[in-house]
Amino acid sequence: MARIEHQTIAVDSERLLAFCRAVLLAQDVPEADAGYVAWHLVETNLRGTDTHGVARLPHYVRRLKAGSIRARPDIRFEERGASAGIVDGGDGLGHLATLEATECAARLAERSGAGWVSIRNSSHCGALAPYGLRLAERGMIGIVFTHVDPMVMPFGGAGPFCGTNPICLSAPGADGRTLCLDMATSLVPWNLVANAAAEGVPIPRGWGVDGNGEETTDATAVRALHPFGAHKGSGLGIMIDVFCSMLSGAPFGPDIPRMYGDLGERRRLGGLVGAIAIAPFLDRAVFERRVSEMAARLGDVPPARGFERVRFPGEPELETKRQRLAAGIPVGVGVFAELGELAASCGLPPLEAV
């Protein structure tokens, strides 16, 4: 997993959760909505995906203040068939629109065996794993896509076309061995570069290029990222954009308003959530036992040099969560300072280190 080297300050997860919730309440976000978004951000940090955790909270607040994200959106679901529907996010926090799509997809799947829900008029929805894991907890296979503004060079190109366009696939397993793959189709997430810029540290050469198409280690100069796996990641990212934009009527690729552009402009993001019920195929317990067996047998594979053992998709995040629940969440000193400024602007006490 790609990382940046920077100084951090450990913060207790419960205190961080209360802080995020209080900040969102101060922006007139309803209590239940603030509670979920705060949980989503902190859970993402606990799992080690710091690119999509509390570091993004100041940005959401700026957009809430600018009006491009509505604190009290009118989120609506329209059923379009026995296993299909569309959620209109009402230009609210994307976490809420995607949560609604996840719940609606699960209900459709419980009734018809599968549910597919497209999303429109949304905004940045954070990490996808919490949605996929929510479906796994209900005994379903989860498939979650989202797209973002142009940040990634298509294979053979020298400038960006589509976003980092992540994908999440989840499958419930027994004995704590639920599989969850949550990854960007770029070599690294854009927000990892954003975090490096906030912390004032360089990035490794090969992650992205500047405005002239030249490789750069200056996080503030990056204008486009490389796809992972050359043509493979490029093609997958483009197809995810199709799933997210064409079904929902959302803009695609170069037409998507930029996350860090005009803060007063609506993002108009799309997405797609799929749920496949296991019960119509076989007994849920049998499925989960077999997934658990697969995960265990992966761990039996002899490790390559430099590796302790082979881990199943989602296992590193579970290990990180256990560590961070005990020792606190490491927050970059730059982000910690920004959160302090945010607290002051909301009339809240500052965060305290562990």
Task: Please tell me the distance from the alpha carbon of residue 163 to that of residue 342, in angstroms, as a whole number.
Answer: 28
Residues forming beta bridges with residue 164, ordered by sequence position: none
- Select which of 40, 52, 95, 124 is catalytic: 124
Render pLDDT for 79-110 as a digit per residue (tens, 0 to 9).
999 999 999 999 999 999 999 999 999 999 99
Q: What percent of the chain has pLDDT over 70?
A: 100
pTM, two decimal places: 0.95
The residue whose two tokens read 């796994």 is 136
State the amino acid at position 283 in one-letter form: D
- Portions of the chain given CATH number 1.10.1530.10: 1-66+327-354
With a cut of 70, say whether residue 125 has pLDDT above it.
Answer: yes
CB 4 within 8 A of CB 324: no
Q: Select 74-187+226-313's CATH number: 3.30.830.10, 3.90.950.10, 1.10.260.40, 3.30.1370.60.
A: 3.30.1370.60
Task: Please tell me the distance from the alpha carbon of residue 40 to that of residue 131, in angstroms, as a whole number.
Answer: 9
With a cut of 80, say whether residue 1 has pLDDT above it.
Answer: no
How many Cα atoms occupy the beta-carbon half-sphere of 48 within 13 Å? Answer: 16
- Portions of the chain given CATH number 3.30.1370.60: 74-187+226-313
- Model confidence at 5, pLDDT cuts 50, 70, 90, reads confident
How large is the average pLDDT for residues 240-261?
97
Domain spanning 1-66+327-354, CATH class: mainly alpha
- Model confidence at 338, pLDDT cuts 50, 70, 90, reads very high
The pLDDT assigned to 107 comes to 98
The pLDDT assigned to 6 comes to 86
124 is catalytic: yes
With a cut of 90, say whether residue 3 has pLDDT above it.
Answer: no
